[in-house]
Homo-oligomer: A and B are copies of this chain.
């Protein structure tokens, strides 16, 4: 992990860009974090395109910083300036064609779109987690926050260092995800934008139902995909404070 830039924001949060091999990322640590008081960590997921997503990710990270958490994000495989991801590009083109034609989206397209991404992204998150947890100012416990929901679910299943997750419903859900969801046991807080135009609401409700976690909460709110109300962000932050502090 190589830090490539560093700036102290006005709220005291230290924002550092880094690269991990070829993967670019950003780490935010609260002013309070130190070797003697390492901060718990939230991994901030997103749908890819770090540069475009950055203002929203930074806002989430600074909110976490105010609560005493470090936050980190990395670019998705094929996202932003990373090399195109051929199989996903093809699936995305097929998806666009189906949506424009007003056809139902074939499950096989969703599988091709999401599953290779999960296969590639999850080990990258784990490598990133190794590197982050080796920093003296960062400790456990670790949470995952965001979409792509299939990545969050897989991480919750395979990565024992993640102890709670805020999952954003709103991306296509491959069939196998329901099976994986049953294996999730960590506390979950699921955000669903009720009128999200790009989201299959029923599929999100079915997925929530499938999770094996004893503590799982669904917060459904009005507004489109990016319209999560501020109070819903506050509620998600409180979920992490309950489980990671």
A residues in contact (CB < 8 Å) with B: 194, 205, 208-209, 214-222, 229, 231-232, 234-235, 238-239, 242
Contacts and interface: CB of A to CB of B under 8 A. Distances in A.
Contact of A218 (B216, B220, B239): B220
Contacts of A235: 235, 238
A181 to B, nearest CB: 14
How many monomers of this chain does the complex have? Answer: 2
A231 B238 CA distance: 9
Nearest to A234: B238
Contact of A221 (B194, B217, B220, B229): B217
B194 A220 contact: no
A234 B214 CA distance: 19
A217 B221 CA distance: 5
Contact of A222 (B205, B215, B221, B222): B215
Top 6 A-B pairs, shortest CB-CB distance: A218-B220, A217-B221, A219-B219, A235-B235, A216-B222, A215-B222
B214 A217 contact: no
Nearest to A239: B231
Contacts of A205: 205
Given A231-B242, A235-B235, A242-B231, A217 B220 contact: yes
A216 B234 CA distance: 16
6 contacts: A194-B208, A194-B209, A217-B221, A217-B222, A218-B219, A231-B238
Contacts of A214: 222
Given A217-B221, A217-B229, A231-B239, 19 more contacts: A194-B208, A194-B209, A194-B218, A205-B205, A208-B220, A214-B222, A215-B222, A215-B229, A216-B221, A217-B219, A217-B220, A217-B222, A217-B231, A217-B232, A218-B219, A218-B220, A231-B242, A234-B238, A235-B238
A215 B209 CA distance: 24
A228 to B, nearest CB: 11
Nearest to A192: B218
Contacts of A194: 208-209, 218
A202 B209 CA distance: 12
A98 to B, nearest CB: 26
Contacts of A234: 238
Nearest to A211: B222
Contacts of A220: 208, 217-218, 220
